[in-house]
Amino acid sequence: IAALRNKAACRIQAFFRGMHGQYSALMKRQELERLQRFRNRKALDCQRAYRGFRGREIAEGLRFTRMREGKACVIIQRNWRMSRILPWRGIRMNKIAAFVFRREELELDERAAAVEERDRKRVEGAQHDSASDEEVEDVEDVWEEGWDDDEGVPFWYSPALNEKVYEKPPSKFQFHLELIGMNCKIFWPMEDTWFTAYIAAFNKTKRRHRINYPDGDHEWMNLEEEAERVMLEATDGTGWLMYNMYCPPSLAAQREKVKTLFEKRRKHFERLDTERFWVQVGWDDERKRMRWMNEKTAEI
């Protein structure tokens, strides 16, 4: 019995020393890593201070050099101009100034004419009735409905993608089609005013919506490109929202479903990441079960 007790005591001591050694090694490694990070931060601070000092010295030297060179250039230009000016310099300078001013006026007129021409072409393109153009059907957005006799459920088949699904796929233009019939406000920069209108149609080929105004005028706009000057009236009565902030109710449920699925996957990977740090450290004779230790938290 005494020998058995001594043997058990030796095993308990050996197990305790092993666990204590592992814990001490873990704490020392963490302490060394913390000390190394502290030294690295201080080294970076020293480097930052020295670089800032050297940069200020170089900048001050460059500033002084540029200032001295600028003064020298002014003196050289003044001497050269004085050597070139004729006695009737006043008349000559007036002629030069008049020529420069006239040239500037001509350039401004040319720029204004170019801006007006671009604006005219933009208005013509916006007012062009895209509904008169024939729409080209997107083959990847065409799904043929059928019936699966084996499963007893409907299915949808895409000839372009050669894909078969059992849930009706949403159209890639679903968001744009949801906007038809909604009230909107369009900002005109030249008028500096928001004009009320409503969305009447959508052209899939040109990716443009038809905007009808109360006075009978209309234009075709690419709302994604003009998002900064488009507001939409929310269907729930909360008021006006910018185009980039609006989400139709039909798409909100889909986005919420995707968000929920993403959250489940994130929690799943977090749990796997936590379980990865648990290792076996030995058998517990008293509790008759395996003992585990977390290498990350040192929890047993």
Q: Model confidence over 33-83: pLDDT tens digits?
A: 888 888 889 889 999 999 999 999 999 999 999 999 999 999 998 888 776
Residue 251 to residues 52, 92, 170, 199, Cα–Cα distance (Å): 53, 73, 10, 19
> Would you state the pLDDT for residue 89?
66
More confident of the two residues 121 and 58? 58
For 176-207, b/e burial (b = at least 16 CB within 10 A) is: bebbeeeebbbeeeeeeeeeebbbebbbbeee
What percent of the chain is modeled with pLDDT above 90? 16
| Two structure tokens written together for 4 | 């058995």
Q: Is 38 helix (H, G, I), strand (E, B) or coil?
A: helix
Residue type, 115: V
- The whole-angstrom separation of Cα 283 and Cα 14 is 13
> Would you state the pLDDT for residue 254?
65
- The tokens 């997107």 sit on which residue? 138
Q: Which of 73-87, 118-132, 145-159 has the lowest mean pLDDT?
A: 118-132
> Would you state the pLDDT for residue 196?
92
More confident of the two residues 186 and 238? 186
> Would you state the pLDDT for residue 197?
93
- Interstrand relation of 230-233 and 183-188 (parallel, antiparallel or unpaired): antiparallel
- Quote the mean pLDDT of the chain: 80
> Would you state the pLDDT for residue 128?
57
Residue 224 to residues 28, 208, 242, 278, 284, Cα–Cα distance (Å): 58, 9, 11, 51, 66
Q: Which of 157-166, 173-182, 210-219 has the lowest mean pLDDT?
A: 157-166
pLDDT over 70 (residue 177)? yes
Confidence of residue 239 (pLDDT cuts 50, 70, 90): confident
* pTM (whole model) above 0.85: no
Span 84-110, mean pLDDT? 80
What digits encode the pLDDT tens for the residues 182-204?
A: 899 999 888 889 999 989 988 88
- The whole-angstrom separation of Cα 271 and Cα 294 is 13
> Would you state the pLDDT for residue 68?
92
Span 148-154, mean pLDDT? 77
- The whole-angstrom separation of Cα 20 and Cα 132 is 84
Instruction: Quote the strand ranges of the chain, DSSP E.
Output: 144-148, 153-158, 163-165, 183-188, 193-203, 208-212, 218-221, 230-233, 240-242, 278-284, 289-294
Span 128-142, mean pLDDT? 55
More confident of the two residues 100 and 21? 100
More confident of the two residues 231 and 31? 231
Confidence of residue 116 (pLDDT cuts 50, 70, 90): confident
**Nearest C-alpha neighbor of 26 from the set 279, 269, 273:** 279
